[in-house]
Copies of this chain bind each other. A is one copy, B any other.
Amino acid sequence: MRIGIVGLGLIGGSLGLDLRSLGHEIFGVSRQPKTCEIALQRGVVDQASVDLLLLAKTEVIFVCTPLGAIQSTVEQLVPYLQPEVVLTDVGSVKAAIAQKILPFWGNFVPGHPMAGTAETGIEAAQSRLFAGKPYVLTPTDKTPPASVQVVADLVKSLSATLYQCSPAAHDRAVSLISHLPVMVSASLIATCLQEPDPETLLLAQQLASSGFRDTSRVGGGNPELGRMMAEYNQAEVLRSLHGYRQTLDRLIDSIETQNWSAIEQTLRQNQQARPQFLNPM
C-alpha cells in the first residue's frame, strides 16, 4: 500500500520503520526539513517532504502529530485527498478527536497505540515498538467498516494486540490507567516542590531513590502532553480524579484514626490485583 505519515516523531517514525519493512511504500511529512532528512537517512520513509501535497497519492494516512495539531493537520490535508482515502490518528484521547475530525473527513478511524518510551522524536523511532502492545481502534457509528478493516489489518501486521471499542469507552478506561497516573504523579512532584523548609527539601532530594523515581516519572514528563490529556478528556479525567480523591481521603482517615488493618487490607488487595494491569512490555 501507499501509506502516508504526518508527524515523524517516536510514533510516526516507528510506524514508518515497521510498515516499510513489511513492503509498503511510505510517504512522510514533517514540518521540519531536518526531520525529513533524518527520516530518509534512517529508512523510516521512502519519500519525505514538508509539503502535505506529497500525500496526494496515498491510500491510508496516519496522523501522528500531537493531539492539539490533529484537527488543523486534517483541515490542511483534506484538499489533497481522494474521497476513498482512510485517515487514522494516534492521539491518546478519542471522543474529542473524532468529534473534531468527522465533520472534515468521514472516512476516519480513530486509533491509539499504547506504546511509548521515555524518549521522543525521530531519533527515538524503533522497529517493533508496537509488537505485543495494545493498539485500540475506536470507530464511531458512522465509520465505514471497510476502513476499520484496512487499519485493523495494518495494526495486526505490526504484531500489536488489537482492541476495538467506542471513543467514550476508550477515554474512560484510559483516563484511569494513563491520564490519572500523570495527574497523581504530577501532584507528587509538586507537593515536594512546595515543601517550605529548604533543608527538608534538600534532604528529600538527596535521599530520593527508586520509589520516587518510578512514581514521579510520568508526572515529570512532557508538559504539553499532560495538559492536552486534561483538556481533551476533561470530563473523564475529572471523574477519575474525583474517585481518586475519595480513595485518598479514606486512606488519610484510616491513618488519622490509626486503622492500620484497613491500610494493610487495601495494600494487600493492591498487591494481588496489580498483576492484572501488567501487560507484557
Residue of B nearest to A215 (CB): B181
How far, in whole Å, are A241 and B254 apart by their CA atoms in the complex? 12
Which 6 residue pairs across A and B have the least CB separation, nearest first?
A: A220-B274, A223-B267, A173-B203, A181-B215, A208-B277, A177-B208
How far, in whole Å, are A146 and B220 apart by their CA atoms in the complex? 42
Please determine whether B204 and A231 come into contact, CB atoms closer than 8 angstroms: no
**A residues at B contact (CB < 8 Å):** 114-116, 133-134, 136, 161, 163, 165, 169-170, 172-174, 176-178, 180-195, 197, 199-200, 203-224, 226-227, 230-231, 234, 237-238, 240-245, 247-249, 251-252, 254-256, 258, 260, 263-271, 273-274, 276-279, 281
Please determine whether A263 and B227 come into contact, CB atoms closer than 8 angstroms: yes
Please determine whether A184 and B215 come into contact, CB atoms closer than 8 angstroms: yes
Q: Is the interface of A mostly helix, strand, loop or mixed?
A: helix
A241: contacting residue among B193, B240, B255, B268, CB under 8 A: B255
List the B side residues contacting A268 at CB < 8 Å. 223
Given A204-B173, A258-B234, A209-B241 contact (CB < 8 Å): no
Please determine whether B263 and A181 come into contact, CB atoms closer than 8 angstroms: no
A214: contacting residue among B186, B197, B217, B223, CB under 8 A: B217
Return A207 CB to nearest CB of chain B, in Å: 5
Please determine whether A165 and B203 come into contact, CB atoms closer than 8 angstroms: yes
